[in-house]
Structure 1
Amino acid sequence: MLNLKVGGVPEHFNYPWYITLKNKEYTKNRINLRWQDFPGGTGDMCKALRSGEIDIAIVLTEGIIKDIIEGNPSKITQFYVESPLIWGIHVNAKSKYQDISELQNATIAISRYGSGSHLMAIVNAHNNGWDIDKLKFKVVNNLEGGIDALNKGEADYFMWEHFTTKPFVDEGTFKSLGNCPTPWPCFVVAVREEIIKNYSKDLKKVLDIINNCTKHFKKIDKIDQTLSLRYQQQLNDVREWLSITEWGDATPVSEDFITDIQNKMKAYNVIDKTVDSRSLIKNMYI
């Protein structure tokens, strides 16, 4: 039986992995798949892929593209979520800040450099016409670290997925100043090249299983209630998230599309250079 390790953020996006693991769908195909939560997000997962701590990552598009360009020996095998990720822009509930325009010279809490919270802060700054070179960052590791940094005044604002942080806005921990959607599909499946080379049939089976689950995910009986309870989110927020989320599938990742994303990332100063998109992807269904 093949052992494989997959990592992702402990958020509602990855509940399909919980379902398929609970149903032992991988075991039935002689694959011992183990899930690992990464509260630290994309930067943490990129590091884990590099070290071999995990074999597969459900990771933010911008983060893994940047890290593969910088030497991560992994490839994008497909889009996991094709819709944008909605990044909420949060300050402490008692903060003096009332509008995003006031944050130009403020200190930004980020989980780590190269993470989505870091790269999307750059995108947000670009959208607002701020000087990227003057941005100030405070590394906080994860969502809990962001809450702590804002409470202590060590950072002024923190960007994290809108629906994950909505409960903290509702309870009065955060104040939301607005949102910043990703200008590209948000999550991809990234796999270490060694796994792609040596276990492609097994990898394809893993992708078949998760794609079949996400294909029918919205139709699962009372899935909105299940997600609301598990992730402690308001039912209306879960229903809104389900309505705007589009899952990926086995459709091959277009080189031109990845090139377009790279060009956007370079224009946003998220990456310094673009590369041949063929070096970033490995389609498993061609």
Structure 2
Amino acid sequence: MIDLKVGGVPEHFNYPWYVTLKNKEYTKKGINLRWKDYHGGTGQMCKALRAGEVDIAIVLTEGIIKDIANGNPSKITQTYIKSPLIWGIHVGAKSKFKKIADLEHATVAISRFGSGSHLMAIVNAHNNGWDIDKLKFKVIGNLQGGIDALTNGEADYFMWEHFTTKPLVDNGTFRRLGDCPTPWSCFVVAVRNEVLENNFKEVKAVLDIINNCATDFKKTENIDKILAKRYEQQLVDIQKWLSITEWNDGKPMSKNLIGRIQNKMIHFGVIDEKKKSSEFIKNMYF
């Protein structure tokens, strides 16, 4: 039995992992796969990959590309969610800010530097024509840290996945001023190079299992009700989320796509230079 550790955010995107683990599908292939929740998101997972604390991570595209460019010894094996992520732009319930334009000189809460909340704040600033060099950040760790920072006035706005934060908008903790979709497919699977070298066959087996589940995931009977209950969401919100979310069908990530995403990230000032796509991806299917 081979031991492998996989990590991701505890959100509805990753429910297929819960299903396949519950059904012991990896055990049947001789793989002892263990899941770990990362409430701090992609920045926390990039750090865990570097430290060898996790072998496989379901991370945001922009975060892992930036971290691999900065030396993270991992590769992207495939896209996991091929649709964009919708980032809600939130302020506290009692905030003086009324529209996105008001936030130009405000302090943005981010989970970590290099995280999705950090990088998408840069994308949002660029989209609005703001001076990226003048952005002010407050590191808050995770969603709860964002709630505390906006409530206590330590930061002015916070970007997090639209549907995950929808209950906080509904209960009056946050006000959402708008959304900022990622200009690329949002989640990818990243694997440590050492694991790819030593356990290529097992990693491929894991990907085959999760892709098989994800392909027909939206056809699961009552999946909208199951997700709404598990993640404490309104049924109508989950139904909308399901309608705009597309999982990968198992195809590898192309070098052209990595190149296009790098071009966009350079344009946004997120990375400094373009590198060979082969430095970022590992094709599991020859």
Q: TM-score, normalised by structure 1?
A: 0.99
- Distance in 2 of aligned mates of 1:256 and 1:235: 38
* Residue in 2 that maps onto 1:180: 180
Q: How far apart are 1:252 and its partner, in Å?
A: 2.0
* Residue in 1 that maps onto 2:285: 285
- Deviation sequence 1:68-92 (CA, Å, 0-9, x none): 0000000000000000000000000
Q: Please identify runs of 4+ aligned residues in structure 1 that moved more than 6 A.
A: none
* SS of equivalent residue, structure 1 residue 164: coil
Task: For 1:1-286, list aligned pairs within 5 A.
Answer: 1-286=1-286
- Distance in 1 of aligned mates of 2:272 and 2:109: 22
Listed as ranges, the gaps of 5+ residues in structure 2 are: none
- Distance in 2 of aligned mates of 1:220 and 1:46: 32
Percent identity between the two aligned chains: 71
CA RMSD of aligned residues (A): 0.5
Q: How far apart are 1:104 and its partner, in Å?
A: 0.2
- Matched to 1:48, the amino acid is A
- Deviation sequence 1:56-78 (CA, Å, 0-9, x none): 00000000000000000000000
Q: How far apart are 1:249 and its partner, in Å?
A: 2.5
- Distance in 2 of aligned mates of 1:265 and 1:152: 32
- Distance in 2 of aligned mates of 1:107 and 1:271: 22
Q: How far apart are 1:250 and its partner, in Å?
A: 1.9
- Distance in 2 of aligned mates of 1:218 and 1:153: 40
* SS of equivalent residue, structure 2 residue 226: helix
- Matched to 1:180, the amino acid is C
Q: TM-score, normalised by structure 2?
A: 0.99
- Distance in 2 of aligned mates of 1:266 and 1:44: 23
* Number of aligned residues: 286
* SS of equivalent residue, structure 1 residue 25: coil
Q: How far apart are 1:257 and its partner, in Å?
A: 1.0
